Each structure stands twice: as C-alpha cells, then as structure tokens.
Structure 1
Amino acid sequence: MNIAVAKEREYRPTTTSVGTVLALESITLRNELAGTIRKVALAPGQVVEAGTVLVALDVSVEQAELDAETAQADLAATTLARLERLLQAQAVSQEEVDQARAARDVALAQIERTRAVIAKKTIRAPFRARVGLTDVHPGQYLNEGTELTTLQGVDAAANVDFTVAQAVAAGLRPGQLVTVFAGDSPTTARIAAVDARVDPTTRNALVRARISGHAPAPGASVRVEVPVGPPTAAVAIPVSALRKGPGGDHVFLIAPDSAGKIRAHLQPVRSGPVLDDDVVILSGLTPGQRVATSGSFKLREAVLVASDSSR
C-alpha cells in the first residue's frame, strides 16, 4: 500500500457550459437581383480572397444598355462643349447651355445606374472566407434572394458563445479568461462581452469569448469552463486516495495510535473537481495529513498498516 501527503493547492471554483464556435465573419450569400447564371466559382471548402467573383449572372442586356448610354453621354458632352463655345460668342442662350449640361448629367447618371446593376449581378466574396456547400449551376435562373452558399471567415481567431446563470454572469468582465475544451484539448479564450439581457425563461445570460490562434471549426460544440469567484487555497490528494461509498466520499488517514503503531482511520471528506492527477478536497483534510492511495480499498477502520512508500 502506498501513502501520500495531503498538500495545499490553489483552487478556483468553476462552472461548465456548452458553447458554440462562431467565425468572426459569417454570412449566407444571396443574390440581390434575379437573373440567369453565367459563371459559378463555388468550390465547397475552398478559401477565397476578398473580391473574388463567386457567381456571375448574365449581363448581356445591361452591357448593351451601357454601351448605348456611353455613346449617348459622349454625344451629350460634345453638344455641351459646342454650346459653351457658342455662348461665349453670344450665339446661343444660357438656357440652351443649361439644358445641354442637364442632358449630359442624366446620361452619366444612367451609366452609373447600369454599372451598379452589373456590379450587383457579379457576386463577389466580401471577405477572405471558406466556401460552404452549394447547389447552383450555370444556366440556372435565380429569383431575388436565392441562397447560394455560406461563407465562413478564415481568421486567426474565433468566437465562442455560451450561456451562464445570471448570478455567474454578474461576476464576469471582458478580458477574463475561460477554458474551452474541444474533445480533450483545452484552449484558452478571453471574454469579449456579456449580454446585457438575461433570458426571462432560463434566467441565463449569453457570453461571448474570443479564441486567438487555432480554433475549432465554426459551428462546433465545445465545453467551456468558467471561473466562479476568486482563487482559494484548498487541499489536494491523489485521485486514487479518494474512496466512495454509501456514506459518501472518504479517505483513510494513516497515523500512529497512542502506542506508536500505524493504523488507518476512515475520514469523511467533501471532494471537489479533479485537477490533473489530484482531486481537490473542500473539507475534511488539512495539509500535511497522510492518506492511503493504491491499496486503500483493502483497509478498514483502525487496521494496522505497513506502507510501501510515501510521497
């Protein structure tokens, strides 16, 4: 049987919540205007740069209109220049010049309008992102607002949204650290914001934390450990020393009796979380006390013991 010495360890109580990973930038891509698809450049999983053309609708009609409007604007500009020269010779009235200037301005405005329509029918990535699944193809007619795909921003950071009880939320501040677990891998995140509103049904508040560096995929479910209260000193013992029974948690203290013989004594304790290979004991033990570890399941109250080692 082995013996360990209870040691003092800093402990901070935590509460656990389930969170969702969110990209810093995330949108559902839709077309603003109806039209027929001429080109598709949506490869699911591909990372595209900001400004990359993803879907191009047919703009042959708009391009023809633009050519006609450009010619009309050139003619209007030429007419205006001619009339301005004639005005200097007092061969035309100021009103004729004003009308020519207005005609030129209208022609230029029509060009800008048509260019805006062409731009809206050329759908580009608004930011660097990873492309989601898609089901659109060249030749397909799209109504306004058709869902094309999703774009998840590709950043060196991500957000994690989770909820905590209102009492816990009241003690959280931006900048505090929380621990995020995706599988067995812990990652540190920093609280970015605490929602000012508490859900009236659950009495929980939404909290957003920011993960810097490598983060789980957007949409992933993660476990979040949130500190509750300040760090306190506690007692820690090896996990193997803690026994559980019908009467609750207990350990076997190893101490000499009045005759100097080493005996085991059952000691009820209140246990806390497991930290690495140790378990926190919230009450029932003091630092320096010796407890049985491996082999403690063989012990009973006041039995004589012989230890193999102590740590």
Structure 2
Amino acid sequence: MSKKNLLLKIILPLIILVIGVIGFKSLTGLSTPPKKQAQPQRGLLVEVLTIATQPHQVTVHATGTVAPGMEISLVPEVSGKIDWLSPQLVTGGFFRKGEKLLEIDQRDYRLAVEQAQATLAQAEVALQTEEQQSKLALEEWQLLNMDDKGEPSPLVLRAPQLKKEKANLDAARAGLKKAQLNLQRTTLYAPFDCRIRTEQVDPGQYLRAGTAVATLAGTAQAEIKVPLPLSELQWLDIPRAGDTHTGSRATISLTSGSERLTWTGEIVRSAGEIDPASHMATIIVAVDTADGNRSTPQGQLDLSVGLFVDVALHGTHLPEVVSIPRSALRENYSVWLADLEDRLQIRPVHVLRREQDTLLIDEGLSAGERMILTTLDGAVTGLLLRPMAQEQTR
C-alpha cells in the first residue's frame, strides 16, 4: 500500500470527527434552554354542603312496650254453680261488647224473686187494711166528739201503725228490686270489646261472689309505655292533670317479616314517677287499635299486649335551625368551612340537639356558607381546598 493511501485512511476520519465536534458545539451554543413555568397550586379535594336554615320539627326516637288501654277483672256479684259457659271464655278469646260470657244457675234466684213478689203483695194488703182501720177510727172519734172542735190525736187515728205498714211496703219493694237485680247478675256480659288475658273457670264450677274468675283487656285502644331520658321531655307536649288537650303525636312501628307495620297515636300522660334504677321517666302513648288505624290490611299482626315496638314522638317545632350530619362535627364542638378563597376555616358551633343521624345547630353557622364533609388529616386554618359536589343541607 502506498504512503498516500495510508495517510488518507488515518487522517480523513480524524478530520470528519473534528468537523462534527465543532458543528455540535456551534449548534448547542446557539440554542437557549426553555424557561421553567411555575406549576399552579392545587388544593385538597373536599366535599362540601351549602348551609341552609329552615324550620324543623324535633323527633324523639324511642322504644316501648304495648299494654292494654283498659283492663278489668271479671268478678261475679252472686254465688252459684256455672250453668252455661261460652266456649270463647279461654285465654285469647275475643268478645264484642254485650256478648254473654257465662251464666250462673238461676233457680234459687228466680225463687227469691217470687218470694219477694209475695212479700210485696202482703205488704200492700196490710197497708190497705191499716188505712181502712185509720179511716174507721176517725169516723168513730167524730161521732163521739161532735161538739168538740179539737183534733184527734195520732194514736187515735192509728198513725204509728199506718207508718209501720208503709215502711213494710217500701221494704218489700226494695226486696223485690234486690231479688230481681241478683237474678240479672247471674248472667255476665262483656262490658266492652275485649280479649281474655287470663281465666280460672270451668263448666259446672261453683263461683263465689267477689272472687275474680278472668282478666279482660280492651281491644279498642292500646297504651305504649315509653321510657325516656329526662333531657328528652323538654321537646314534648305531655298533658298534665286537668289538661283537656292531647299531647304530641306519635308513630308506632313494628317489623313483621318483610312487612313494616305502623300505627298512629298521641301522648296522653306521664307515669308520674322516675325509675330509680335507670333514672328515666315513662310516658304513656294511647293508640286507637281500630282496623283503620294501621298501615296494613286487616288480618296482619295486631298491636298485641307485650310487644316491643319502635316509637317516634313528634315534638317541638323549631322556626330556624341548621341540620348537619353527625360526622361533620369536629373536635371541641367545631366545624370546618371553606371560605370565599377556598381555604379552610375552623368555626365553633352550638349543638342544640342530637338526633339519630343529624345534629341541630342554632349558633355558629349562616345560610350560604360551605361546610366541609371530608375528613382531613392535619387540618389547619388557611389550608387550600378544592371544593366539589355542593348540595343543600337537608
């Protein structure tokens, strides 16, 4: 290989490399790096509710036990053997007002009526006889004392004997009424629509007057005994002695399978005492248990004695109040707000009342303010926010 060719193979690549380096530096020297643009600050994404003040009716939620609105003991007023007994006179049996429950053997009482009637007849005859004797005595005195302008004495006119016979007649009449009343009392009737809660009676049994044989519970009305903390009483209208109006309305509900049964009622009184163990007061809610006062067709579960039911008591109407979710209340009775610049503000509030899912606020919040619902770690005043999903509070 000639020297000329050798030099070309060595020098030519070096020349090309040098030219490339010079060109790269020239190009890079002419370009300027792009300016860095400042990234906008992005606040924390939070969900907010727009505050609204509105009227609100306080609802006190509680539970209660069903008791009969009316309950009496069935007590015979006369003694005797049972002559007839209704087959429905068993525990759970139902009677309409005026239906016959049982009948005591009437034979002795019918005889007593007949005897009293005879005694009355004798007394009437005796009085008539004595009246005639008194009349004759007066005529005799007048014949013997024609010139005497005085008056005969009561003894002459047989006044004591006449008074005695009149008293005997009154006693005979009273005796007949008593015998007839005892005869009526041999038959016992249902005093109102009722169910038999308990009974201790069998056909042919001898009953003694004054001994209870059954317990009857009225079916037209039930009472719900509802224990409540003393702090809840201020929200309810509870009638006191002498009041003629009814108290706060109530909704009674019970779940039976897939059905939710409801009745309406009203507070009628308080039990008038505080339970020493629980320190709770008991109020009484009266419920009309007629077929029309229920949310389900006839034939479903009745509001039976002993049932444990849910009770919603509809109490005081508050004219202007803010209702917020319980979860929105933060430490030290405060809430978080998003101000006009979307920055976090911490505001103390006054909780007027706690309800099942909400809090009622009467101080510290104004209509139109945005309350933060999202829970934040390390929340501080001035924290930049990105509010979203604004809704009216309900």
Q: TM-score range by the shorter chain?
A: 0.5 to 0.7
TM-score, normalising length from structure 2? 0.55
Query: Of the candidates 124, 132, 138, which is equivalent to residue 77 of structure 1?
Result: 124
Matches within 5 A, 1:276-287: 279-282=358-361, 285-287=365-367
Q: 1:35 Cα shift?
A: 2.2
What corresponds to 1:4 in structure 2?
Answer: 49
Distance 1:291 1:200, change over 3 A: closer
Could you tell me whether the CA contact under 8 Å between 2:60 and 2:313 is conserved in 1?
yes
The residue identity in structure 2 corresponding to 1:30 is V
Paired positions, count: 294
Structure 2 counterpart of 1:108, from 151, 169, 173: 173
CA contact (8 A) 1:250 1:266 kept: yes
Alignment deviations for residues 43-84 of structure 1 (CA, whole Å, 9 cap, x no partner): 5453422x5442221221121122123123223323433453
Map of 1:169-248 to 2, 5 A cutoff? 174=239, 175=245, 177-183=247-253, 185=262, 187=264, 189-190=266-267, 192-193=268-269, 198-199=273-274, 201=276, 207-208=283-284, 210-211=286-287, 214=293, 216-217=303-304, 220-222=307-309, 223=311, 225=313, 227=315, 231=318, 233-237=320-324, 239=325, 242=327
Say which is worse superposed, 163-172 or 108-117, in terms of deviation: 163-172
The question of 1:54 aligning with 2:101 is answered yes
Describe the superposition over 1:4-31 as per-residue Cα deviations: whole angstroms up to 9, x where unpaired: 3122133566766655555554312222
Question: Retained in 2: the 8 A contact 1:54–1:125?
Answer: yes
Task: Give the SS at the match of 1:136.
Answer: coil
Contact 2:74 2:212 in 1 (8 A): yes
Cα-to-partner distance string for 1:238-273 (whole Å, 9 max, x where unaligned): x4x83689x69987655564xxxx677888878753
Q: In terms of mean alpha carbon deviation, does 204-213 or 114-123 score higher?
A: 204-213
Q: 1:193 to 1:70 in 2, by over 3 A?
A: same
CA distance in 1, matches of 2:70, 2:129: 53
Structure 1 residue 139: Cα displacement: 0.8
Superposition pairs for residues 124-163 of structure 1, below 5 Å? 124-126=189-191, 128-133=192-197, 134-155=199-220, 159-162=223-226
CA drift at 1:2: 6.0
Residue 32 of structure 1 pairs with residue 77 of structure 2: yes
- What is the match of residue 368 of structure 2? 288
Structure with bigger gyration radius: 2
Identity among equivalent pairs (%): 19
Q: Say if 2:344 and 2:384, in contact at 8 Å, map to a contact too.
A: yes
d(CA) in 2 for partners of 1:125 and 1:186? 26
TM-score (norm 1): 0.66
Unpaired stretches in structure 2, ≥5 consecutive residues = 1-45, 141-155, 240-244, 255-261, 295-302
Q: Between Structure 1 and Structure 2, which shows a larger proportion of strand residues?
A: 1
Once the two structures are TM-superposed, the CA of residue 100 in structure 1 deviates from its matched residue by 4.5
In structure 2, what is the Cα distance between the partners aligned to 1:103 and 1:205? 59
